Amino acid sequence: MDKSAKIIVALVVIAVSAFFIYSKMVGWHKAKLETAVNKEKQIWQDKADKLEQAITNLEQELTAVKSPKVPEEKLEEIFGAQQQKETETPSNREIISAPTKPADFADIERRITAFFAYLDDQPYVQSHEFGKGTYHEYQITMGKLSSKLPIISGEMNSLYNMVRNVAHFYRIMGKDRVLLTKQILQNESEVIESVMKTFYQWFTMEDGGQSTLKGRPTLKEMYEYAGYVLNTLGGRSYLLRRSPKVRTLTTYYCVLILDKANEEELNSKGIDIRPYIKASLMEINSQLGLIYQEEYLIKLDELIRKYYSS
C-alpha cells in the first residue's frame, strides 16, 4: 500500500472514530438534557400546582368575605330578636324590591334603645363608670357637638383654626367620650355596619310625631359635620385614623346627608357633592366584607345619574 492510500485509510478511520465519539457524546448530552428538562418541568409543575391551590384557597376566602354573615346571636344581643334578615347578604333582587329602611319608626327607636342597653352591659364601657349610662352620655355629647360646630370654610386661614379643627372632637367631647367611641368602633367592628345604618335611619327618618328619644341632630347640624368630614383637613385627618370599613361607611353617609342638604337647599357652603360621590363609589366597590354593598352601589349610581346628567 502506498503512502497516499495509508493516509486516506487513516483519515477514514479518524473520521469514523470521530463520528462514533460525536454520536456517543450527542446521545449522552441529549439524555442529560432531557433529564434536566424533565426535572425542571417537574419543579415548575409542582410550583404551578401549589399556585393553583393557593388561588383556589384565595378564591374561597374572597367568596367568604364578599358574602359576609353577621352572627345572628350578636345582632339579637344588640338589637333584639328581629334581626335575622341581616345575618345574610341580601341579593340584588331583594335590595331593589325591598325598602331601604323599615317603615316603622318606633322599631328604629326600639333598636336604638336596645343598642345603648347592650353597651351598658359591656365591661369595656362599665370601666368608664358613667353613672347614668351610655344613652345619657350620648345626649350630652350630641348637645356639645350641636352647640359647637366645626369650621368648614376658612380652616386654612390661620394655624389656630386648623389646629382647632383637627382636634375638634377631642376638644368638644372630652377625653373619656372620645376614648369610649374608639373602643366601641373597635369592639363592635363585627356589627358596626348595621349599627351605623340604624343610626342613619334614626337621624333621617320622618318620625310622624312619635319620637320618644332625644338626641337626633337636625339636618343643618348633620350637614355641617358632613362638610367637615368630607371637605376639611381636620375631618379628613379624623377619617384617616379610622378603619377602612368605618372610613368608607362614614364617607358614604356624609354623601347622603349632603344630598339631603341639597334637596332642602341647605348647602350654605356650596360644597360640590360630585367628587365625593365618585370617591365613595370607588371606596364601596373596593371595600370587602360589606353586608349592604349592593344597596350602597345602587344608591350611589342614582346620585351619579342625578348630579351628572343635569
Q: Which of 111, 99, 103 is CA-nearest to residue 208?
A: 103
Backbone angles phi, psi at 305, to 5 degrees: -65, -35
Query: Confidence band (pLDDT; 50, 70, 90) for 173?
Result: very high
Q: 3-class SS at 139?
A: helix
What confidence tens digit (pLDDT) does each residue in 66-116 have? 555 666 777 777 777 654 444 444 444 343 333 444 458 999 999 999 999
Query: Confidence band (pLDDT; 50, 70, 90) for 120?
Result: very high
> Which residue reads 367631647 in cell numbers?
173
Query: Confidence band (pLDDT; 50, 70, 90) for 65?
Result: low
Most confident of 34-38, 101-105, 188-192: 188-192
Q: What is the pTM of this model?
A: 0.73
Q: 3-class SS at 128?
A: coil
**219, three cell numbers:** 339636618
Residues 151 and 227: their CA atoms lie apart, in Å, by: 9
Are 213 and 109 within 8 A, CB to CB?
yes
CA atoms lying within 13 Å on the CB side of residue 257:
27
Query: Confidence band (pLDDT; 50, 70, 90) for 208?
Result: confident
| Ordered DSSP codes for 238-251 | HHHTS-HHHHHHHH
Burial-class residue 40 by CB neighbours within 10 Å (0-12, 13-18, 19+): exposed
Q: What is the pLDDT of residue 43?
A: 75
Q: What is the pLDDT of residue 87?
A: 45
The arithmetic mean of pLDDT across residues 54-68, rounded, is 56
What confidence tens digit (pLDDT) does each residue in 232-275 have? 999 999 999 999 999 999 999 999 999 999 999 999 999 999 99
Task: Check pLDDT > 80 for residue 127.
Answer: yes
What confidence tens digit (pLDDT) does each residue in 212-226 have? 899 999 999 999 999
What percentage of the chain reaches a pLDDT higher than 90? 59
Residues 194 and 171: their CA atoms lie apart, in Å, by: 28
Query: Confidence band (pLDDT; 50, 70, 90) for 296?
Result: very high
- Mean residue pLDDT across the chain: 83
Q: Which of 308, 143, 155, 145 is CA-nearest to residue 230?
A: 155
Task: Check pLDDT > 60 for residue 195.
Answer: yes
Of 278 and 61, the structure prediction assigns the larger pLDDT to: 278
Are 261 and 284 within 8 A, CB to CB?
no
Query: Confidence band (pLDDT; 50, 70, 90) for 26?
Result: low
Residues 206 and 209: their CA atoms lie apart, in Å, by: 8
Residues 214 and 225: their CA atoms lie apart, in Å, by: 19
Query: Confidence band (pLDDT; 50, 70, 90) for 155?
Result: confident
Q: What is the pLDDT of residue 76?
A: 75
Residues 166 and 171: their CA atoms lie apart, in Å, by: 10
Backbone angles phi, psi at 128, to 5 degrees: -80, -15
Taking every pair of C-alpha atoms in the chain, what is the biggest distance, in angstroms? Answer: 131
List the chain domain ranges: 1-66, 71-308
Residues 186 and 246: their CA atoms lie apart, in Å, by: 10
Residues 243 and 181: their CA atoms lie apart, in Å, by: 13
Are 100 and 198 within 8 A, CB to CB?
no
Residues 227 and 270: their CA atoms lie apart, in Å, by: 10
